[in-house]
Amino acid sequence: MASSHRDIIVVGASLAGLTFALACAKHGVPVRVLERAERRVHGGDNLSVNLASIAAAVGCDPRSAPQLPVVRAYRDRHLTAWPALYDWLRDRAGEAPGITLMENMTVSTVESGHDKATVVLADGSTLSADAVIGADGYRSTVRRAIAPELPHARYAGYIVWRGLIEEKMLPSPVDWPSNGGLWIEFSQGYRLVAAVLPGRDGSLDPGQRQVTFAWFDAGREALLRRTHCLTEDGYVVGTLGADAIGDDVRDELARLAPRVWPDPWVDAVTAGVRAAGTMRGAPIAEYRPDRLASGPLAIIGDAAHVLSPMTGSGYATGVEDAAYLAGLLAGVAPSMPMDVLLKQYEQARLPYIRGLVNHSMTLSGEFRRYAATFAR
């Protein structure tokens, strides 16, 4: 295939980067994927996924063996755990021809030349390619090279406490059907989302499943500034890992949980708040891009657009980015300059993405106003 002559580096091997790499492999476009960790470990998130869209994008069907463990959410959407989706994508990428995973590779900067891009690694070594695609998350290094005037995502005014626990930790199984669904409630100035997910082995048997929760909480700006998650200008530059959440915050949330969460979720939330390593705090960030490409550089997924999880569209939009750009790389003549090709990607995706971030900002504003009516 003509596009196989292009040399593509992908920065970031999380969900968006692996999805894009698999989409490229589907079209016969080889890629090198750089990732700072050997294999990611992450928990506490449930994700809304469209299985048909994933299958169409990456050429592997998560409904076929080896299946992605899911439960039904609504319409054509299913729920899965972040670790389950990551493992499924990572295993498929490890098997796919044309994907070279280069782990333990920390990227310091990315530079754009006339017709080449250069990646500078933390050890001072460099790699060059015809294009560098940033899939390196909401604190993207590649984004800083594309849009140095707007490098960070802005704080949306609230945090989400996320937990993912084993159902067997609870006094009794959660009284919730194994065929899935999201429980969503607004209560006393908070937004509460919970679900029962398949267990780590894919089991849907009561007692063997996982329970996930997302507790949206406004008014934590002082905590986030004290822990250096926010800049003075209100940009998000960090998250609260499990080890960074103090006992005072855990005690406060544990006391509050019975007043906010009804059965059958209160035991799960309390256990998640109390148990070491099972809860983290993510300040909600939003990023509305002015550009998605510059010369031989482009961004996809959370590097390109950061949305509130209230939209339910974060990963889904990354899948669309990946499918479109991979198809574009495969479908044009190798004589087309890379900057022209990536500009086509930007022109096609940017209007939709900006509209979706606008929607996210509207939802965030509505939640902040709701929370303010219960300000203590």
Question: Is 376 part of any domain?
Answer: no
Token pair, residue 42, equals 């992450």
In a domain, 143, yes or no: yes
Beta-carbon contacts of 290 under 8 Å, excluding residues fewer than 6 positions away, are: 147, 150
**Could you tell me the pLDDT band of residue 76, with boundaries at 50, 70 and 90?**
confident
Give the whole-angstrom CA distance, residue 12 versus residue 140: 9
The residue count of the chain comes to 376
Residue 3 within any structural domain of the chain: no
Q: Are residues 114 and 186 in the same domain?
A: no
Q: Are residues 148 and 292 in the same domain?
A: yes
Question: Does residue 227 sit in the same domain as residue 266?
Answer: yes
Q: Does 324 map to a domain?
A: yes
Q: What percent of the chain has pLDDT over 70?
A: 97
Q: Which helix (H) or strand (E) holds 279?
A: strand 279-286
Encode pLDDT of 145-159 as tens digits.
Answer: 999 999 999 999 999
2 located within any domain? no
Q: How many C-beta neighbours within 10 Å does residue 130 have? A: 18
- Cα 367 from Cα 84, distance rounded (Å): 30
Boundary residue ending a domain (286, 310, 330): 286
Q: Are 116 and 129 in contact (CB under 8 A)?
A: yes
For residue 111, the model assigns a pLDDT of: 93
Task: Let me know if residue 1 belongs to a domain.
Answer: no
For residue 62, give Cα distances in angstroms to 22, 40, 51, 52, 333: 13, 20, 6, 8, 32
Q: How far apart are CA 41 and CA 90, in angstroms?
A: 12
pLDDT tens across 86-105, in order? Answer: 999 999 999 999 999 999 99
Within a domain: 341: yes
Rounded distance between C-alpha atoms, residue 240 and residue 219, angstroms: 15
What region, left, alpha or beta, does residue 342 occupy, with left being phi > 0 and alpha being psi -120 to 50 degrees? Answer: alpha
Non-local CB neighbours of 230 within 8 Å, separated by 6+ positions = 155, 221, 224, 236, 237, 238, 283
Same domain, 159 and 134: no
Asked if 158 contacts 284 with a C-beta cutoff of 8 angstroms, the reply is yes
Model confidence band, residue 376 (pLDDT cutoffs 50, 70, 90): low
Using pLDDT thresholds of 50, 70 and 90, give the confidence band for residue 180: confident
Residue 373 lies in a domain: no
| Burial class of residue 368 in the structure, from the number of CB atoms within 10 Å of its CB (0-12 exposed, 13-18 middle, 19+ buried) | middle
DSSP letter at 373? T
- What is the model's pLDDT at position 46? 84
Residue 203: CATH number of its domain:
3.30.9.60
Tell me, yes or no, whether 145 and 18 share the same domain.
yes
| Judgement on whether residues 190 and 274 belong to the same structural domain of the protein | yes
pLDDT in tens, 129-178: 999 999 999 999 999 999 999 999 999 999 999 998 999 999 999 888 77
Question: How many other C-beta atoms lie within 10 A of the C-beta of residue 247?
Answer: 9
Determine contact, residues 181/73, Cβ cutoff 8 Å.
yes
Residues 256 and 297 occupy one common structural domain:
no
Residue 3 confidence (pLDDT) above 90: no
User: Residue 33 maps to which CATH number?
Assistant: 3.50.50.60
My answer on whether 175 and 104 are in the same domain is: no
Q: How confident is the model at residue 6 (pLDDT cuts 50, 70, 90)?
A: confident
The SS3 call for residue 177 is: coil
Task: Choose the final residue of a domain: 286, 306, 331.
Answer: 286
Domain match, 12 and 111 both: yes
Q: What is the pLDDT of residue 315?
A: 92
Q: Which distant-in-sequence residues (6+ apart) come within 8 Å of 251 by Cβ? A: none
Instruction: Give yes or no for a contact between 116 and 128, defined as CB atoms under 8 angstroms apart.
Output: yes
For residue 241, pLDDT beyond 80:
yes
Amino acid at residue number 317? T
Q: Which segments of the chain does DSSP mark as H helices, in order?
A: 15-26, 51-58, 82-95, 141-146, 221-226, 247-260, 266-274, 314-331, 338-372
Q: Is the previous residue joined to 66 through a cis bond, with omega within 30 degrees of 0?
A: yes
Residues of the domain holding 230: 154-286
Q: State which of 228, 255, 286 marks the end of a domain.
A: 286
Number of folded domains in the chain?
2
Asked if residue 76 and residue 43 are part of one domain, the reply reads: yes
Q: Is 122 helix (H, G, I), strand (E, B) or coil?
A: coil
Asked whether residue 298 falls in the same domain as residue 282, the answer is no
Q: How far apart are CA 329 and CA 352, in angstroms?
A: 20
Do residues 146 and 31 share a domain?
yes
